[in-house]
Chain A
């Protein structure tokens, strides 16, 4: 394919890698948080709720700065991750993925929490009387009934993470080939005089990516709808 230049391919693939890894990391964390917020009652729940929502309401630059403080090699958390797991985030693509995951998290938690709260608890108790323990009740009743919400959370989170800019550039910086995702590349191109065409091409790529994601999610939603429809007939 020579529709895109090698540099543009690099930017696109890096963006997909960063967002993909961000979603893989955020999905279980978001689900666990959504579960705790939907099902548990404990003192300090309001604080947890607020903390989860923080990246949604803070300026992304501030979120990026907080990540910088927490995950720098001099901070306890950053030092621990580097020494125990060999994970470094600063100026690395992993940092871009972490920033994208953190920014996508609140949207994902919200969507999942709503779908978990919509699951009829009476169906879960019916499953228990039929001999299903808590785990089987979860996998055979709760999870399938909240699957649409989880899918919606994934689409929302993916859209948010592909477009992530502020926290990423603050935390992971703007390094071509390492942390320069699509939005950051557009920003860089805008800084250079006479690169109007480059900007337009990258923006076009960004639009194409978003439309593709939208079509995919529509298709997934319709497919699960059809499955139900088939049984109706």
Chain B
């Protein structure tokens, strides 16, 4: 199984239980806002600690409370495309894309070709620009590129279409389909848009509304 998740998350006063397993391809977490979907992605990335449970991706255990395993985020090898992008404002697009490439040296096997990735995303012309000067669609593509080039073993995508206008949506949607089909990385994808999920997802995990 690509994703093997069984955790309890504390989010404010709410306790959220997630339990699912998913094979390769794109798994959509589908549910209303406020259901803690982002909290789950944070837990998988190692940015939030579940109060109970176990998380494994492609047979690597990332978190296991009973066994006291809690891998540091920098060792989890996830490509996280944040909903708020989080491009580094003081670095050029090139500097952003190269930030995660340091770990390539230790793992050539997972290397994605620089030119090919830039081509796929159509960001070759943006390399010397600062993030503040990018349009929403451009910034989204750079954020995806930064995650892909960091030699991830899996991808986490948090509503990558939410901040885009309709024209850009189609463009990024096609891009995510190509990433799904060409790169064969397991993807955990958060969305609250039914049409989007139906088009992209190999399987859907329905997230219940918070009680």
Seen from chain A, the residues whose Cβ lies within 8 Å of a Cβ on chain B are 120, 122-123, 125-133, 136, 140-141, 144-145, 228, 231-232
Contacts and interface: CB of A to CB of B under 8 A. Distances in A.
A181 to B, nearest CB: 38
A122 B84 contact: yes
Interface residues on B, range: 20 to 34
Given A122-B84, A129-B73, A131-B103, 11 more contacts: A125-B47, A125-B73, A126-B80, A126-B82, A127-B99, A129-B76, A129-B78, A130-B74, A131-B74, A141-B88, A145-B90
Contacts of A130: 74, 99-100, 146-147, 150
8 contacts: A122-B84, A122-B86, A125-B86, A126-B88, A128-B74, A129-B78, A132-B102, A136-B102
B99 A128 contact: no
Contacts of B73: 125, 128-129
Interface string B121-139: 0000000111011000000
A231 B86 contact: no
A175 to B, nearest CB: 47
Nearest to A120: B86
A91 to B, nearest CB: 47
Contacts of B99: 127, 130, 132, 140
Contact of A231 (B88, B130, B150): B130
Contacts of A145: 89-90
A122 B147 CA distance: 15
B161 interface: no
A130 B145 CA distance: 12
B9 interface: no
Contacts of A129: 45-47, 73-74, 76, 78-80, 150
B90 A131 contact: no
For the complex of A and B, the 3 pairs showing the least CB-CB separation, nearest first, are A130-B100, A126-B86, A128-B73
Contacts, number: 63
Interface in B61-103: 72-74, 76-80, 82, 84, 86, 88-90, 92, 99-100, 102-103
Nearest to A124: B86
Nearest to B47: A125
Given A228-B130, A231-B130, A232-B130, A131 B88 contact: no
Nearest to A132: B74
A80 B175 CA distance: 67
A133 B74 contact: yes
A144 B88 CA distance: 10
A128 B47 contact: yes
Given A123-B88, A125-B47, A125-B73, A131 B100 contact: yes
A127 B92 CA distance: 15
A120 B85 CA distance: 13
Contacts of A125: 47, 73, 86
B186 to A, nearest CB: 16
A122 B77 CA distance: 18
B71 to A, nearest CB: 11
Nearest to B76: A129
